[in-house]
Amino acid sequence: MSAPASSAPTASNALFDTFARAPLAFERGEGAWLFTPEGEAYLDFSAGIAVNSLGHANPTLVAALTEQAGKLWHTSNLFRIPGQERLAERLVAASFADRVFFANSGAEANECAIKTARRYHYVNGQPERFRIITVEGAFHGRTLATLAAGGQQKYLDGFGPKAEGFDQVPFGDISLIKAAVTPETAAIMIEPIQGEGGVRAFSNGYLRELRALCDAEGLLLIMDEVQTGVGRIGKLFAYEWTGITPDILTLAKGIGGGFPLGACLATNEAAKGMTPGTHGTTFGGNPLAMAVGNAVLDVVLADGFLDHVRETGIYLKQRLAALVDQHQDVFDGVRGEGLLVGLHGVKPVPEIVGALRAEHMLVAGAGDNVVRLLPPLTVGRDEVDAAIAKLEAAAAALAPARLEA
């Protein structure tokens, strides 16, 4: 059968047809800007979906990767990797954790978290405790297990039976999580702010109640900080705003600054079942990734950097609130924290994303008709002002014609 006709340029037919790609390609980047081969500049407020945490072609990351590339790329985890040990020690020193496992992506980090939680109860003599409670609207990855953890039917359809062991509860009602706990429950897994789910934040009180519930029931608390971690909301980790700590935490996206890198952090107690042979990875923690991850921390943990993120995040939300007031026929609310911010649309999000692309600004859509703004953490007021100007132009283009009084 012939392929359906399309009015837009298409990607190579040699690729799997799993992405609805925009008819755009970029040749280079600098900071918060991307440039096409023709030299057109686009303001990047998606940052590879919260990945390019320090912007494009960041000189610190380029230098670290280039230096390491001239030395050693890969040895495997059959041997010690000094950069891996250093990055793990730094993450431990900056967090609740005692142990770190490195992977290549958020999905792999979450797979490790799931296995760590189940293995914990197994070595405690309770192998029946393997189920994990998650919240509807969550997104934990694209593997079969992490799809089941997220529970979104649109991602599960067509891939056979859903992986066993995950129980979803509706967003925001702590009593429903309490009611979902059974003798088979091993853990609760949650994103402090649901990114793909529409930039929906859980209150600090809700997260504190989860911690208390886990302590009372002997459960592990897993925080998926693949999108919120590494400074995205103004602290190195989102849990630092809550007054509690998880037992297991996952990272990816921003920790590599654009290089594939994920991590699963855990306490000694939570990780006690992860002994030699229970888990592994070929590429995870490779010298190239570790060089970049350490360089990211060099920048993010430098004096004043997270202060800058917090200040810029406040300024961005203030400007967005004013934008919503002026364009209520296009937007009706602002969500999120720091530099993980969502605009709830009155117009359909695909239309808003398209109008912004016409203004040479890149954003990401999310569930519940939300436009996500995920700029590099290095942006300042100038980039925010440029983004607001483009948002205003896009909103004006989308607004229905107003009748003169």
**Annotation marks residue 390 as catalytic:** no
Distance CA 220, CA 226 (A): 18
- Pairing state of beta strands 331-337 and 28-30? unpaired
- The token duo for 258 is 């654009």
Q: Which of 44, 115, 224, 237 is catalytic?
A: 224
CA distances from 265 to 79, 90, 191, 399 (A): 21, 12, 15, 46
Over its C-alpha atoms, the chain yields an Rg (Å, rounded) of 22
CA–CA distances in Å: residue 25 to residues 30, 118, 253, 268, 325: 15, 43, 21, 45, 34
Nearest to 147 by CA among 166, 170, 128, 172: 166
Whether 154 sits among the annotated catalytic residues: the reply is no
Nearest one of 295, 256, 275, 285 to 82, comparing CA atoms: 285
Q: Which of 253, 317, 347, 390 is catalytic?
A: 253
Look up residue 82 and give its amino acid. P
Indicate if 224 belongs to the active site: yes
Q: How many whole angstroms separate alpha carbon 127 and alpha carbon 118?
A: 8
The one catalytic residue among 45, 96, 101, 139: 139
Whether the CB-CB separation of 23 and 8 falls below 8 Å is answered with yes
* 3 state SS of 9: coil
Per DSSP, what are the bridge partners of residue 27? none
Active centre residues (catalytic): 139, 224, 253
